[in-house]
Amino acid sequence: MNIFVLIKRTFDSEEKITIHAGDIVQDGAEFIINPYDEFAIEEAIRMKEAHGGEITVMTVGSKEASRELRTALAMGCDKAVLFNIEEDVMDPDPFTTATILYHYITEKPFELILAGNATIDSGSGQVGPRLAELLNIPCVTTITKLAIDGKEVEMERDAEGNIEIVKSQLPLLLTTQQGLNEPRYPSLPGIIKAKKKPMEELTLNDLNLTAEEVAAKTKTTCRLLPPKKAAVRMIEGDAGEQAKQLAALLRSDAKVI
């Protein structure tokens, strides 16, 4: 089974993010594999362990994303592809990413494509469905369970808190949701092996594409941090005292009574 896994290098949302002139300051920022993509990596490894085959992990971005690809290789992927568009495309969007991936994947044999349901930076969730449409294959999003028997595939997907059971056939593109699995950490042997695994770096020229053909269809005009939350005031004492203090605060501060 040939499996493609799509990942993205994103800011670590657990670390402090600084905004200057409407954009994120990258100097000193921490980067990670998009957490939803880690579910895709883990599921690909489990499918390979069960059915055999090869896993190719890929990303569209800058040369710095090679670190995240190496992490995926250390987790258990077999080879990596980096589409370096840093010098060709400013502010790429899902159209850019899906178009580039399509022009590479359409020439390759595959049975399964796995991607995170969304990224924690933009949260669009568009790349997977866009790519599936270009490849003319079925797409099932937000899966939380996966079983493959030959070419028959049965999935459970998160449908706004409910569960849908979906059946389809390979080839197929799936986007992964929290609850599908527990991603493994790279082991020391895995980290050592990852240094010797192949990583291919391609540009638009290698795909016979121009910057105009993959230029973003959308434009981000400004980025803002969420508003600061008001300080929490703790109310102490027994239940009666707490009720009196709460009523006083609702009257004096919130002015709702």
pLDDT at position 17 over 90 = no
The predicted pLDDT at position 221 comes to 80
Residue at token pair 């009666």: 240
Whether 81 contacts 200, CB under 8 Å: yes
**Whole-number percent of the chain with pLDDT over 70:** 94
**Predicted confidence band of residue 235 (pLDDT cuts 50, 70, 90):** confident
Q: What is the pTM of this model?
A: 0.84
DSSP 253: T
The predicted pLDDT at position 169 comes to 98
Q: Residue 254 and residue 250: Cα distance in Å, rounded? A: 5
Q: Residue 141 and residue 137: Cα distance in Å, rounded? A: 13
**Predicted confidence band of residue 152 (pLDDT cuts 50, 70, 90):** very high
Whether 177 contacts 144, CB under 8 Å: yes
The predicted pLDDT at position 245 comes to 87
The predicted pLDDT at position 120 comes to 84
**Predicted confidence band of residue 15 (pLDDT cuts 50, 70, 90):** low
**Predicted confidence band of residue 81 (pLDDT cuts 50, 70, 90):** very high
Domain boundaries, the chain: 2-207, 227-256
CA 168 from centre of chain = 23
The predicted pLDDT at position 246 comes to 87
Any residues with CB less than 8 A from the CB of 87 and at least 6 apart, and which? none
**Predicted confidence band of residue 230 (pLDDT cuts 50, 70, 90):** confident
**Predicted confidence band of residue 220 (pLDDT cuts 50, 70, 90):** confident
**Predicted confidence band of residue 251 (pLDDT cuts 50, 70, 90):** confident
Q: What angle do CA 80, 85, 86 make, to 5 degrees?
A: 115
Is the bond preceding 92 in cis, omega lying within 30 degrees of 0? no
Lowest mean pLDDT, pick from 1-10, 14-23, 68-77: 14-23
Tell me the CATH architecture of domain 2-207: 3-Layer(aba) Sandwich (3.40)
The predicted pLDDT at position 93 comes to 94
Lowest mean pLDDT, pick from 10-19, 45-54, 82-91, 154-163: 10-19
Give the model confidence (pLDDT) of 34-73 as tens digits.
Answer: 999 999 999 999 999 999 999 999 999 999 999 999 999 9
Q: Residue 240 and residue 4: Cα distance in Å, rounded? A: 61
Lowest mean pLDDT, pick from 41-55, 74-88, 102-116, 117-131: 117-131
**Whole-number percent of the chain with pLDDT over 90:** 71
Whether 199 contacts 74, CB under 8 Å: no
Work out the end-to-end distance of the chain between its first and last CA atoms, rounded to an integer number of angstroms. Answer: 65
Give the model confidence (pLDDT) of 163-191 as tens digits.
Answer: 999 999 999 999 999 999 999 999 999 99
Lowest mean pLDDT, pick from 55-59, 132-136, 140-144, 215-219: 215-219
